[in-house]
């Protein structure tokens, strides 16, 4: 059953249904001005599928960087993105953090609780992904990774006591419709729309997210 998040708009940027990974990656670069980089992909092996990294213990099959220098390969050019995915059309779509946005990652149950709380508080979150590993990533303005630990302390928590992870420079978010092997695909809990083009500061969301993570412990 599809989750419906109150407060999201019907306009979808980008559309997901019927679009290839290539088309979607190009739209991220072209319409949102996000850097994109191809990650690993799923390969057919002995009647099943595995991550292109060939590690049988891979914990994010088909949804992690494919090479050590992945961050230097990321591009905000739609033309370059198109060329990249033409070379490997099934590669996952990774969005580097610490550039046009940081991301606050929380457990899925805490994420949905936080979204409900934000709605009651009249807050508009930026785009939010929901991944098959049951974690949600809230996009915020760059610099959030440096701010959040102190903000959490001011709310009365120690950063290590909450399952709240901030992704900044050197991190990444797997973007819809990237698939995690048989676990399913990354989806938008809050889609990118004209209304959330201007991202919130981490300070605007951290109270709701910390409260939800505290309740989720």
pTM of the model: 0.89
pLDDT of residue 9: 35
pLDDT < 50 stretches in the chain:
1-14
**Residue 56 structure tokens:** 């049988």
**Residue 12 structure tokens:** 């979808």
pLDDT of residue 10: 32
pLDDT of residue 18: 53
pLDDT of residue 7: 36
pLDDT of residue 6: 37
């Amino acid at each position: 059953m599809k989750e419906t998040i109150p407060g999201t708009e019907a306009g979808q940027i980008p559309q997901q249904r019927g679009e290839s990974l290539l088309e979607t990656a190009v739209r991220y670069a072209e319409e949102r001005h996000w850097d994109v980089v191809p990650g690993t992909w799923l390969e057919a092996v002995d009647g099943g599928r595995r991550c292109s990294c060939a590690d049988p213990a891979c914990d994010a099959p088909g949804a992690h960087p494919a090479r050590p220098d992945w961050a230097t390969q990321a591009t905000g050019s739609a033309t370059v993105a198109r060329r990249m995915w033409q070379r490997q059309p099934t590669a996952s779509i990774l969005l580097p953090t610490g550039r046009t946005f940081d991301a606050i990652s929380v457990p899925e149950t805490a994420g949905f609780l936080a979204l409900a709380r934000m709605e009651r508080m009249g807050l508009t979150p930026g785009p939010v992904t929901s991944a098959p590993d049951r974690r949600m990533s809230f996009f915020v303005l760059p610099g959030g990774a440096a701010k959040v630990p102190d903000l959490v302390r001011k709310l009365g928590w120690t950063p290590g006591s909450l399952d709240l992870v901030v992704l900044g420079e050197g991190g990444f978010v797997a973007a819809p419709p990237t698939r995690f092997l048989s676990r399913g695909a990354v989806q938008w809990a809050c889609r990118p729309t004209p209304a959330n083009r201007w991202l919130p500061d981490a300070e605007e969301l951290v109270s709701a997210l910390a409260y939800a993570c505290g309740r989720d412990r």
